[in-house]
Structure formats: C-alpha cells, structure tokens
Amino acid sequence: MKYSAMLAAVGVLGAGAAFAEEPIKIGVLYPLTGGGAVYGVPAMAGHQLAVEELNAKGGILGRKIESVERDDKMNPSAASSTMKELITKDKVDIVLGGLSSAVGLSMSEVSKQEKVVYISTIPKTIQMTTDKLHKYVFRTAANTDQEGDAMALLAGRNKLAKICHLELDYAYGNDLEAGILKALPKYAPDAKIVLTLKPKLGATDFNPFIPQVMSAGCDGVLSGLWGPHFVSWVKQAAPLGFFNKVKWISGGEIGSHEIAGELKGDYPDNVISNTYELWYHANDPSHKEFQARLAKKLNTQETPQWAALGYIGVMYTAAAMEKAKSTKADDVAAALEGLTIGTPVGKLTIDAKSHQANIGQFWGPMVKKPDRAYRMMDPAEYIQPK
C-alpha cells in the first residue's frame, strides 16, 4: 500500500512540468560491472565524449543533450526493465548500447513495444537485422555475416587449403560460424574444413583442444575466440610451437590494442585479426582529432577500440534528429534509413532496408615493432561491407 503511494509520487515527479527548452535525452545501457565492463566502460567513455562534444557545439536542434546512463549487467531481463524505466520514467527520446546478443535482442524487443528507436552499438547477432528486424531498431556495429565474410576473404587470400574451425559454443560463435560457411565457397572454393571444435563460452582450459588442432594437419585456423579466450589459448598453445605451424585468422577483435597490450611479448606470430578502431592508424582525417580528445579523456595515449562504437551511436543519433528536425521516434527512424555520416572510421551508411550500417573493421597481421613493447597491426586494411 505504502509503496504504491510512494510510486505514484515518484511517477508524478517523473512526469514533471514540460519546459519548452527541455534537453534531448539519450538513454544508454552498457555493462559497467562484471565481466562485460572491460568493453562497456570504454564504450560508455566514447558515448560521453560524443555527448560532451555535441553539447559544446550547442547540442542537437539547439537543445542540450542529457545522457541517462545505466548498467545493463549483461542480463537481458534487467536490461529490458531498465530500458522501460528510461522510457517511462526518464522519458528518453532514444536508447543506445548493449553488448551481448541476448541483451541486444531484449532491448530491441522493448524498442518494438514502446515504439522508441534503439541503436545497437555493439551487439552483432544477425537476427536483429534479419528475422527480428522492426521499424525502430538500427545497428551501427558490424554483424556476424560481415565479420564471417571478411574472415572467408582472408582465408582465400592466404590460400588456406585445410582449415581448422574454432568457435565458442554460444550465440556469437554459432552465428559467426554460419557467416563464415556462407562466404567460404565464394572466396576459397578449394578450402576444406577438416576439423570444427567448439569450446565453451568462458573456457579457460584449452588443453583438450590444442593437440587435436595440431594433429589435424591444417594450415590455417579460423577462430572466433575473443578476448580472454584467445589470451588463454595463446598461453597454453604457444609454448608447444602451435603458432609456428598455422595461420590464425580470427574475428572477435583480438587485433585491438587491448589484447595486444595485455599479451605484450607473448602475442604470437602468424595472427591476422580485426578491430573496429586503432589508435595508431586512421582511414579518415577526423580520426586524429577524435583520438586526441579520447586520449585526453581517458588519460592514456593507447585508447581502446570500443570507445569508437559508443561515439558513433551518439553521432548517428544527432545526425538523424538534425535531419528529421524532430525527436519523435517515427521521424528519427525514417531519418536513419539510408543516412550517411562521417565518423572517425570513415563514412558510414545505414541501409534503408536492413537497418544495418556498413561499418568495416581493420584487418591485418599483428607484427612486432622495434620501439614498442606490444605488437601492432601492420599493414591495417579497412575491409568495409558493400
């Protein structure tokens, strides 16, 4: 009884008085605690950087931007509740963020119900822009088909004949596998997959898998082991000379500086991987300034790649609202379709039909540098989907 009265009071306060010059509210959810925080915290920093920059220039449509930031806890139901709260209590105009596939899909579901635009800035699950596509969901991250396509292309270029395929046994791994298998006949028609192994998500012991791959006689590995999985694999496999014998072509952004900086001298040879952004390499003149500001905000020269994704989400929000001259969900959704903007990683366009941005990734071999303690991607090639 008491709490319902309290709630009613909160609700009335939340509704508030409407001012003519109310700020534009952007709701954002990233994992800020637990295992996902390594990605969510830098993404949030990029998000904040974009909001600060826009506000310094007068905001969107002459209105200040207020960013309402929450932890998604990597839990889809919690993310769903929190997103509803942002919409009904904080009255946000748009919602950005997410990291895991399930959180992305749960946020997309809320966006569909509540008719509020959601821009997925990190989740890659292909379902979001295919079977479960709806009017209000957009994606500025890559998807597993695009990533798989690039990996197949690199397998072809490196003339892999016998391939070992390693994927983590969960949504992202299975989707990426499907993406690779779809594209492989196109780029490497003669390549054969001789072995497919699927370690568990969160696995730390790869000793049962390493000898299998080594004895399968493959000349290359296509891998979806990201972050800590790759680090564990390297620590267990490198002492056996694993990386002398195979080319390791990997998705999951292990070409990012975060991983290179973590492994330092232990980072193995023969790895070709991807990253959304590199602090030391640019394909667009605006990157330099973006990176400098980010470095200042994070107080480190070697900035993480995830910040760019948070940043791009806000840039798209601003561009869409300016184009629509409105913050209404229907207008913003219509404006986002086919919208092209300049970003620190070059010009991006959101496809009008699939709601998917043609964001590319930098791909290349990770090589030693004489004056650095960590490896760097060189040459870095920006592979952008058509």
- The residues binding other proteins (CB under 8 A) are 1, 3-4, 7-8, 10-12, 14-15, 32-33, 70-71, 73, 75-77, 80-82, 84-85, 88-89, 101-102, 105-106, 108-109, 113, 125, 127, 132, 170-171, 174, 201
Q: Is the peptide bond before 379 cis (omega within 30 degrees of 0)?
A: yes
Q: Are strands 361-367 and 271-275 parallel, antiparallel or unpaired?
A: antiparallel
Q: How far is the CB of 187 from other proteins (least distance, A)?
A: 27
Q: Take residue 285 and report the two structure tokens written for it.
A: 């003149």
Distance of closest approach, residue 164 Cβ to other proteins, in angstroms: 23
Q: Helix (H, G, I), strand (E, B), or coil: what is residue 162?
A: strand
Is 171 or 307 the residue whose CB approaches other proteins more closely?
A: 171
Beta bridge partners of 382: 362
* Shortest Å, Cβ 225 to other proteins: 17
Residue 5, judged by CB atoms within 10 A of its CB (0-12, 13-18, 19+), counts as exposed
Nearer to other proteins, 26 or 54 (CB): 26
| Helix-helix angle 171-187:101-114, to 10 degrees | 100
Q: How far is the CB of 82 from other proteins (least distance, A)?
A: 7
Which uninterrupted H or E stretch holds 163? Answer: strand 162-166
Q: Which is nearer to other proteins, 73 or 229 (CB)?
A: 73
Please, are residues 28 and 96 in contact by the beta-carbon 8 Å criterion?
yes
CB of 265 to other proteins, least distance (A): 34
As a 3-state breakdown, the chain gives helix, strand, coil percent values, each rounded to 5, of: 45, 20, 35
Q: Which tokens hold the place of 162?
A: 């016998």
15's tokens: 């509704």
Identify which of residues 121 and 343 has a Cβ nearer to other proteins in the complex. 121
CB nearer to other proteins: pick between 8 and 367: 8
Residue closer to other proteins (CB basis): 146 or 273: 146
Q: How far is the CB of 364 from other proteins (least distance, A)?
A: 31
